Chains A and B, each alone.
Chain A
Amino acid sequence: GQNIDQPTEMTATEGAIVQINCTYQTSGFNGLFWYQQHAGEAPTFLSYNVLDGLEEKGRFSSFLSRSKGYSYLLLKELQMKDSASYLCAVRDTGDKIIFGKGTRLHILP
């Protein structure tokens, strides 16, 4: 079967660091995406990992371990505008892209 798991909700403080985990079990693997979605808006692309290791992009970093079926998104120097849902998605065989249920992140001042 196919399954992508991530926590439902997380809370962090402005200026802090937060790590959002994602575990996956899929029939194939052609890469893992992270998206950000603000309430009432469409998801927007944050990062893509296909090789093991850490990809850094400004305040956001994403990590992948293929052998463990595990990824995390790391957000540093949190800002209020980072309050959003974060979606983990896996490109399965071919062109199929499957999403987890998303993690709603609340930032406290």
Chain B
Amino acid sequence: DVKVTQSSRYLVKRTGEKVFLECVQDMDHENMFWYRQDPGLGLRLIYFSYDVKMKEKGDIPEGYSVSREKKERFSLILESASTNQTSMYLCASSQGRTSFHSPLHFGNGTRLTVT
């Protein structure tokens, strides 16, 4: 079974802090994704990565950056946290672009509160 592990289930940070959300997958997947999920807005793609050191912007990348130094790890960085970044953050992984049928496997999510 694929396991996607997010480092924290709940996180509380102050406005202006730099925040790191970590995600690790154990299935040698090429692709990794960061989404945020908000009531009424659904899952929105922030960034994704299709290979080590490669990244592409999703639909809402403003205020975020990512890092993928190793295949199994994908980090989401909030450079200066703001209250509108309070949300549930979901990491996911999947096989690469030769496997279009490959579904996303999600971590359990990190509920981030910025005060």
Contacts and interface: CB of A to CB of B under 8 A. Distances in A.
Interface string B39-63: 0111111001010000010110000
Contact of A97 (B45, B96, B101, B109): B45
A48 interface: yes
Ordered nearest first, which 9 A-B pairs have the shortest CB separation? A101-B42, A42-B106, A45-B103, A99-B43, A30-B100, A95-B50, A95-B31, A102-B42, A48-B101
B42 A87 contact: yes
Nearest to B59: A98
A33 interface: yes
If over half of A's interface residues share one DSSP class (helix, strand or loop), that class is named, otherwise mixed; here it is loop
A33 B103 contact: yes
A79 to B, nearest CB: 23
10 contacts: A31-B101, A33-B104, A43-B90, A48-B101, A89-B43, A95-B50, A95-B96, A97-B104, A99-B44, A100-B42
